[in-house]
Structure 1
Amino acid sequence: MLPIHLFRQNKELIVDGLKKKNFKELELVDTIISVDEKRRHLQSESDNLAASINSASKNIGQLMAKGNKEEAEALKAEVSNHRDKTKLLAAQLADIETELHDLLVRIPNMPHSSVPFGKTPEENEVVRQGGSTPDLSAQKLPHWDLTAKYKLIDFELGTKITGSGFPVYIDQGARLQRALISFFLNYNIDGGYKEYYPPYMVNEASAYGTGQLPDKEGQMYHATADNFYLIPTAEVPLTNIFRDEIISEQELPVKMTAYTPCFRREAGSYGKDVRGLNRLHQFDKVEIVQIVHPDKSYETLEEMAAHVEHLLQLLGLQYRVLRLCGGDMSFTSALTYDFEVYSAAQERWLEVSSVSNFEVYQTNRMKIRFKDGGNKAQLAHSLNGSSLALPRIMACLLENNQAPEGIHIPEVLRPYFGKAIIN
């Protein structure tokens, strides 16, 4: 949620940013400013009444001490009248603050100045690329055929147990999944991230804090009995660790990592793009999150992007890094880098990570602050990224490393997997 002072001080900047994000309800900006003016007027009126009550209360005591009872009683009646007005104003303020809040949460984050204009994924900017396309035989197989051939994943069994999009990993498939999780976590820990093992369900306040509510409720699984939400990413519980907290400046940056399963309804997804591991309702992911000083957040974003990029290099995968255009960015992000790996069997790029800077959009909702050198509390910036999401990484590892004799395991994974080849 954007701080209200930005609307008062930078209306044109807000409007330009919303246009870049392809946001249609531009009239909300004027509505927010108008409602905020009413709120400030009511607050000023309430403050003036409170000051009058305090002043009159002091005078009442002095008049009583001097024996001026009649004047004191008149002031008491005035104070009583002011207090009645104060109660009415408090109710009006509560209503208008709710109205203002409900308007503010409908406004997405402002894009950074470097975000390109555009509405579709085809308009994203390729920042850099690495790796090379593997030379596979004409008999190359997509991962859904490879997992069947080597008995690594049973998609039909998952459908039987739960439904489509819930695969069952078996034997060497389960071992490879576990190897990837351990490798990713250790890599992040070596990079200075502290490991957490958070809950897989969160309450409504946590889902609201990171921006899943009210924007993405249709994509989340909702446990209605206790009003909990299954997490779509470890970003949600990790960032909420510091909700309503004031961090000392010396503690920054806070660096966290966690492995969790992730749950997404993916409503409306269909077709070839969802086959096999390409799009699931339950999948595993290792996440990195940082809470940093505002002056350091874009430097941190580049560091996190380099961290993820090196991980793809270690796995020997062909990749590219995209700076998302305004229309393809998430509701909450100010700047996002997407990482895609090339699937040589499917002959297409697959997204495996997003690394984003949210600036104060999440921390303003969660009231995550730090004390600066002047002992003044101010909002921190939050960032997160996938390091990495497993399904498409596994898909590309299987496809790009297939050979007549089996599927070769990248060298960095062999100590975790326990062997060099799946056959």
Structure 2
Amino acid sequence: MEIASIYKKFEASASISTDTRKISKGDMYFALKGDNFDGNKFVKQAFESGAKHCIVDDKNAVINDNCILVDDVLTTLQNLANYHRKTINIPIISLTGSNGKTTTKELIKAVLSTSYKVDATKGNLNNHIGVPLTLLSFTKDLDFGIVEMGANHQKEIEFLCGIAEPNFGLITNFGKAHLEGFGGEEGVIKGKSELYDYLKANEKTVFINSDDPKQLKQINSYHNIKTFGKTKENDCIVEFKSANPYVNLSYNNIDIHSQLIGDYNYGNIAVAVAIGQYFEVKTENIKKAIESYQPNNNRSEIINRHTTKIILDAYNANPTSMLAALKNLKQLNADRKYLFLGDMFELGKEAEKEHQTIANFTEDNFDENIFLVGENFYKTTTKSTTKKFKSFEDLKPLLKNLDLKNSTVLIKGSRGMALERILELL
């Protein structure tokens, strides 16, 4: 069946679902396959749960006339998303980067939502499945759609751009993330810059942090740029004031007091301000949106428990974000500081070196109360005062006896480490 015909059935459906456990009445179910599952096997369950149509790529899954047999379910989902994007024809703002993507996306949404009707990627649905689902959730009455794009190998951002066809874009930063898949730090820069390449090739607009020479180098010779930064030469001037612990900045002679910690969040806030300015959002609305935004889902959250301040940043980690979090902790005022650091994943052959670098920095800048968790950190060479644990289970018995009164605690690690579990035991 042609995409145009499937699209008509999509328009008549309630929404899209890829999980039979979450189907609502009238949904269109896409029977996706993975390494350990085959959605074709759950078609009967999908109809019983209320699905109106099921998209399948196994002829044995066709159990009634409401099953649509295609060559490949995932490709059909992606093609349908692109067809929908063309049909609704709303401005799309896309962003990628090594760190801060989701926070930046939420900040941009908060700013624009003060003046426009806006929708954005839910959570971190930012891959080859998440981006199509995001696009298919957008409606033609929106003023803007914001699409977050994640990647862990070359050509992935290029592929996602082909689906989303963004009108505007930005890269939060280039960091040491997914080094294994990208083939090193230069590979990260090349891979993430595929967003710039698409925007440049299609004469679309780029928002760029002029304080980041790596980004300026990648977009060299392109004229359709809107810069933001700390100096008066920028299209949008956002002055950094302080970060102790929350980021404070100034825009249009008005101070903005965010609820985000760490100077590394300056760029994330500044681009949201720049996009707000570009689309003529009033300064007071920009200020209100930034100051009202609260981080959640284990991303740079500050949790106060009596006299203990906990910085929970356990959603993910890579060498760049880990170092930034440690530098931020170093400059904070606190009687005592505790560090719980978990392994950083997807570093490939660089894993040993990068974990040792973090361990060295930690010991050079903090005297005590250092706890390293995970197989990679366990292999590092450290002082006797640094406590290392192969797993979270090995760490657990120690947590119940710690006295954290009048202290600041940093919890950071990759998603697979799930270090937020520490909170239950402190």
TM-score (norm: length of structure 2) = 0.22
Please identify the structure whose Cα radius of gyration is greater.
Answer: 1
Using CA pairs under 8 Å that are at least 6 residues apart, name the structure with larger relative contact order, 1 or 2: 1
TM-score (norm: length of structure 1) = 0.23
